[in-house]
């Protein structure tokens, strides 16, 4: 590992181009919004990549230079080439971290590493979501407090088609009556995977 943690934030960057409402929220793409939160931190070296770049921006050189890959996708999972998925999977098994955000539960790379359907219950909604921190000792959850809330959110519900997590970190509560395992970790090969339901908002 280099002295800084080399983060690559991957996004679809499609919805932002097609839908003016989304474009207004994320003018440079959601991946850039996420990267923007990380860039101020001196211990991260941050780059971005997206679907419509050659090899989806995930060349061998870039993967070899990535310690943690953050993956965000939701409407174009099927357009990700299997050959790229295979290379990313190999890198995770070799030790690269993978953070899958929100609808990336259906990303090919997430499903390929977990081996299950990764399906879930879904409802377009403006529910309040409360994310309970159920493992406050984990590095990911430190300093968060017992829960945090998102005032208006679509709903993701159980059953969530994942293998039993190594560590369950968050469980979400929704106004409408659902619950969801919204933060969970798995080790696969030498790599660590974190699924987190929330996205940058």
Residue closer to a second copy, measured from CB, 104 or 113: 113
Residue of 13, 50, 71, 186 interacting with a second copy (CB under 8 A): 186
N-terminal to C-terminal alpha carbon distance within the chain: 30
Q: Is 191 in the site for a second copy (CB under 8 A)?
A: yes
Residue of 4, 81, 116, 126 interacting with a second copy (CB under 8 A): 116
Q: What is the DSSP letter of 161?
A: -
Q: Is 130 in the site for a second copy (CB under 8 A)?
A: yes
Name residues contacting a second copy, limited to 61-90 (CB under 8 A).
Answer: 89
Residue of 14, 178, 183, 197 interacting with a second copy (CB under 8 A): 178
Residue closer to a second copy, measured from CB, 5 or 200: 5
User: Going by C-beta distance under 8 Å and a sequence separation of 6 or more, which residues neighbour residue 112?
Assistant: 85, 89
Strands 191-196 vs 167-174: parallel, antiparallel or unpaired: unpaired
Residue closer to a second copy, measured from CB, 60 or 158: 158
Q: Is 158 in the site for a second copy (CB under 8 A)?
A: yes
Rounded to whole angstroms, the Cα distance separating 15 from 61 reads 27
Alpha helices in 57-102 (DSSP H): 60-64, 82-94
Q: 150, 175 in Cβ contact below 8 A?
A: no
């Amino acid at each position: 590992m280099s002295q800084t943690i080399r983060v690559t934030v991957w996004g679809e960057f499609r919805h932002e181009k097609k839908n003016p409402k989304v474009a207004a929220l994320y003018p440079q793409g959601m991946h850039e919004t996420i990267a923007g939160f990380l860039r101020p931190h001196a211990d991260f070296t941050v780059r971005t990549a997206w679907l419509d770049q050659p090899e989806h921006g995930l060349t061998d050189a870039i993967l070899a230079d990535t310690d943690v890959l953050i993956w965000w996708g939701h409407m174009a999972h099927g357009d990700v080439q299997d050959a790229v998925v295979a290379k990313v999977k190999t890198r995770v098994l070799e030790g690269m971290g993978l953070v899958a955000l929100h609808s990336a539960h259906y990303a090919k790379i997430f499903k390929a590493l977990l081996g299950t359907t990764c399906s879930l219950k879904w409802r377009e909604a403006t529910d309040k979501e409360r994310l309970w921190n159920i493992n406050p000792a984990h590095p990911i959850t430190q300093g968060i407090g017992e829960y945090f809330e998102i005032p208006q959110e679509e709903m993701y519900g159980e059953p969530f088609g994942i293998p039993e997590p190594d560590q369950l970190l968050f469980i979400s509560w929704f106004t409408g009556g659902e619950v969801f395992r919204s933060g969970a970790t798995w080790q696969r090969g030498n790599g660590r995977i974190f699924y987190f339901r929330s996205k940058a908002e």
